[in-house]
Structure formats: C-alpha cells, structure tokens
C-alpha cells in the first residue's frame, strides 16, 4: 500500500502513532512535491493509495497531475485532516474527474477520528490489480 502525504502536511507524534498500523515496518510515507507533482519515492501502481491531506484551499494542479499519473491504481483512500469537511466534496469530485478506482473518503477532525479512519483502512478488504479467483462446482471448469 502506498501512503502519500500532501506537500506541506506536518503530523504531530500522536498522529504518527495512530498511522503506525498502516505503515510496513521500517518504511516511511511518501511525500508529494507540489513543484513536480511527484513523490519522493517510487510508488507501486499495483497497490492501493492512501492520500493524507489537510487540503487548505482546493484540489490544485499538482494534485490533479498526481491523480492523473496514478489513476490505474486499484483503490484510493483519501484522509482529510481538517476541522471543516468541505474538502471531502472537493476530493470526491476530483476522484470522479480523474476516474480513480474505488475511492474511499474519510474525514478526521482530530487524533481520535484519525485513528478510527486508519483502523477503517486497515480493516478494509484490499483490492489487488490483476488477480482473480474462480470457483466452479465442476472439476473440468
């Protein structure tokens, strides 16, 4: 799973502790750079994206470029860290505009709601690109 922080997002220690169940051991989240619309590492396009933002204004051009470059990801989770929930509507519209697959939008007003949002992501059944499991009652299916 790709965890990406928006440019300018700073998390306190309490938020980082709440994020720990989502992070693989020893890995740090990627950071989106507003000047290039790229992350500071290489995300895997076959895995889901968790985009954590406070979205102070609106979906900006670098956000749109980032979404467009990774629209083939099988699943998107958006976590909005803001007291105002207006950004959820803006993110939903961006997900539709860029045809992002299986978007899940979560709003976190404080540390407690952020921990609940992370727990929801951890407990969500992950969609994996390019895999299928077929069952048949016939032996020669």
Mean pLDDT lowest for which of 2-16, 18-32, 88-102, 111-125? 18-32
Q: Quote the pLDDT of residue 138.
A: 80
- 114 band by pLDDT with thresholds 50, 70 and 90: very high
Q: Helix 61-69 and helix 86-97: axis angle, to 10°?
A: 50
Contact 125, 28 (CB under 8 A): no
Q: Which of 42, 35, 41, 33 is nearest to 6 (CA)?
A: 33
Give me the residues paired with residue 105 across strands.
Answer: 78
Here the tokens at position 102 are 């299986």
Confidence of residue 25 (pLDDT cuts 50, 70, 90): low
Q: Per-residue pLDDT for 94 more than 90?
A: yes
Q: Positive or negative CA dihedral for 56, 39, 74, 15? A: negative
pLDDT digits (tens, 9 = 90+) for 34-78: 999 899 888 888 888 999 999 888 899 999 999 999 999 999 999
Predicted TM-score (pTM) of this structure? 0.85
């Amino acid at each position: 799973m790709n965890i990406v922080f928006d440019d300018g997002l700073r998390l306190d220690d309490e938020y980082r502790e709440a994020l720990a169940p989502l992070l693989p051991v020893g890995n740090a989240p990627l950071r989106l750079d507003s000047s290039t619309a790229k992350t500071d590492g290489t995300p895997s396009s076959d895995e889901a994206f968790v985009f954590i933002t406070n979205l102070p204004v609106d979906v900006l051009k670098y956000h749109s470029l980032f979404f467009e470059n990774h629209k083939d990801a099988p699943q998107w989770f958006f976590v909005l860290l803001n007291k105002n929930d207006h950004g959820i509507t803006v993110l939903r519209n961006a997900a539709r505009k860029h045809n992002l697959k299986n978007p899940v939008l979560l709003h976190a007003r404080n540390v407690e709601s952020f921990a609940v949002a992370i727990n929801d992501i951890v407990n969500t059944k992950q969609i994996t690109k390019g895999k299928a499991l077929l069952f048949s009652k016939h032996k020669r299916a």
